[in-house]
Amino acid sequence: MLPIPEGKQAEPEQPFEQPWHAELFAATHALSASGAFAWTDWADCFSVALAEASAAGGATDGSDYYDIWLAAFEGFLVQRALADPQSLRSLRDAWTEAYLRTPHGAPVKLSKTVGSP
């Protein structure tokens, strides 16, 4: 790391490019920390997903990292019976609808009824 010039402040590191990246990481970590699954099991699953994406000609610059994470995590949750495909599909559809109706720059808000039977 280069020294910071005198009179300048260091820019804070931003480990996540998008807020949803941080939220996805936090949700994954929280479920693992709660005992829903072992982090090593998730890491194994995600490693396979990354390898498959690479073999399929995926991006080599890491730009699809969290897209792969999300798809693998959804599959992992279904496989572990922690979510069902229909609920995930409903949530994805609700998110898309909310995103499309939200003005640029405003926070996206989902209906409180999302996921309710």
Phi-psi domain of 106 (left: phi exceeds 0; alpha: psi -120 through 50; beta: other)? beta
Please list, in sequence order, all residues whose beta carbon lies within 8 angstroms of the beta carbon of residue 60, skipping any fewer than 6 positions away. Answer: 54
Contact 87, 115 (CB under 8 A): yes
First-to-last C-alpha distance (Å) of the chain: 52
Res 8: pLDDT: 63
pLDDT given for residue 40 in this prediction: 97
pLDDT of residue 102: 93
pLDDT, mean of each 10-residue run, the chain (117 residues)? 61 80 95 97 97 93 94 97 94 91 89 58
